[in-house]
Amino acid sequence: MPGLKHEKQCLPPVAGVDEAGRGPLAGPVVACALVLPDRGVPRGIDDSKKLSATERARLCARLTDCAALGIGIVEPAEIDTLNIYWATMKAMTLAVDRLAEVLGRVPGHVLVDGNRLPRWGYAATAIVSGDAHSRSIAAASIVAKHTRDQIMIAAAEAHPHYGWHANKGYGSAQHLAALREHGPTPLHRRSFAPVAQCVLPL
């Protein structure tokens, strides 16, 4: 389980940052920046990929109640303009900016999942597999993942052919088959090859 080793080495308040949605063919990329409270942290926080959807939903609700957090969302059209790397960097920046508004001050330090940092003015450290090593990053990963999943489940009601309620926009067999038959929606990332191929005339 991720601990607080990295947090204890940093100037507080320490924010964990993670994102969800780099790989899907449709939907936004969502980032969360989160500062855990000193007390009342829910048990079971772990890398979001290791948790069931039910556990993520439970923990996200608890974290929303007890933690200070900010969410950053970059929509598909901007992903196509920036590319997914820079869109992810922007989502993380937006998330930390919004967290700073909630806190009323900038975080003392920001721990970011991955090996790269956005171009920002925050004191920060990138941690490879951070969601496995930092509890703050793991908590942020849960909120980011659950938030994005709920966006895609809601979008599935308007676009039922693509199976987003199950695949969350990733390139599953059902999703790819629906793309070939129905073409892309406004939520598809047209710069991603499987989508771009469906835009071209047959």
> What domain range is 144 assigned to?
5-159
pLDDT band at 88 (very low <50, low <70, confident <90, very high): very high
Return the pLDDT at 184: 95
pLDDT band at 120 (very low <50, low <70, confident <90, very high): very high
pLDDT band at 1 (very low <50, low <70, confident <90, very high): confident
pLDDT exceeding 90 applies to what percent of the chain? 97
Q: Does residue 31 form part of some domain?
A: yes
Q: Does residue 165 form part of some domain?
A: no
* Cβ-based burial of 125 (10 A; exposed 0-12, middle 13-18, buried ≥19): middle
- Residue 19 marked as a ligand binder: yes
- Residue 46 marked as a ligand binder: no
Q: Does residue 15 form part of some domain?
A: yes
Domain CATH number, residue 71 = 3.30.420.10
pLDDT at 181 over 80: yes
- What is the mean predicted confidence (pLDDT) over 175-198? 94
Dihedral of the alpha carbons of 8, 34, 87, 162, in degrees to the nearest 10: 130
As given in the structure block, the two tokens for residue 163 are: 């199976």
Return the pLDDT at 202: 39
- Residue 18 marked as a ligand binder: yes
Q: Does residue 11 form part of some domain?
A: yes
Specify the length of the chain in residues: 202
Q: How many domains does the chain have?
A: 1
Return the pLDDT at 61: 98
Q: Does residue 173 form part of some domain?
A: no
